[in-house]
């Protein structure tokens, strides 16, 4: 038997083992996840040690490249952990476009306070490269802040190169 922390602030004993999802990017925002996976409580936060947040698939959406993670021994990615029910996992898969072949789910080890957890993440099935739109990068940085990421991590996100989505200035 294990216990899960629900958005109500209570720990509730559960008998069913549910998959653990490591959210990065826009899914770091607990409010966004409450809409996308309403039956899946937050479990805490941690770090993908040896992974780097990057961007790929500039032709796939958001007026620029999308966030993904790649292995990089010198980097770390902040994540929120969620106990995801089967129904919410199917909804997340549909939202992310797993059936369309845009994303692949892989298992990773997440470093939490004092131990490691096995979880899954979505990895974009596209070549690394391209810049995210300024709007999308702002969504990711805001989500990281809402998810409790350290301020220096949020600041690094806000300073990443991006594409301007505004009209620009005339020459």
Residues 6 and 39: their CA atoms lie apart, in Å, by 9
Domain annotation covers residue 9 = yes
Residues 142 and 111: their CA atoms lie apart, in Å, by 22
Asked whether 92 and 34 are in contact (CB, 8 A), the reply is no
Domain annotation covers residue 171 = no
| Domain count of the fold of the chain | 1
- Quick one: what percent of the chain has pLDDT higher than 90? 69
Fill in the DSSP letter of residue 135. Answer: H
Domain annotation covers residue 44 = yes
Kindly report, residue by residue over 16-44, the tens digit of the pLDDT: 555 899 999 999 999 999 999 999 999 99
Domain membership of residue 54 as a residue range:
2-158
Domain annotation covers residue 87 = yes
Mean pLDDT of the region 136-150: 97
Is residue 52 exposed (0-12), middle (13-18) or buried (19+ Cβ within 10 Å)?
middle
| Per-residue pLDDT, 63 | 82
Confidence of residue 114 (pLDDT cuts 50, 70, 90): confident
| Per-residue pLDDT, 4 | 46
- CATH number of the structural domain spanning residue 116: 3.10.490.10
């Amino acid at each position: 038997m294990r216990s899960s922390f629900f958005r109500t602030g209570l720990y509730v004993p559960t008998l069913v083992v549910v998959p653990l999802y490591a959210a990065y990017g826009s899914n770091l925002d607990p409010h966004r996840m409450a809409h996308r996976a309403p039956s899946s409580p937050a479990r805490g936060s941690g770090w993908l040690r040896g992974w780097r947040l990057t961007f790929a698939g500039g032709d796939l959406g958001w007026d620029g490249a999308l966030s993904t993670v790649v292995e990089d021994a010198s980097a770390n990615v902040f994540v929120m952990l969620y106990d995801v029910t089967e129904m919410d996992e199917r909804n997340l898969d549909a939202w992310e476009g797993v059936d369309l072949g845009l994303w692949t789910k892989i298992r990773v080890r997440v470093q939490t306070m004092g131990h490691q957890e096995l979880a899954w993440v979505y990895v974009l099935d596209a070549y690394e490269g391209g810049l995210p739109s300024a709007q999308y990068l702002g969504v990711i940085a805001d989500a990281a802040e809402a998810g409790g990421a350290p301020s220096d991590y949020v600041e690094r996100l806000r300073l990443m190169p991006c594409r301007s989505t505004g009209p620009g200035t005339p020459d």
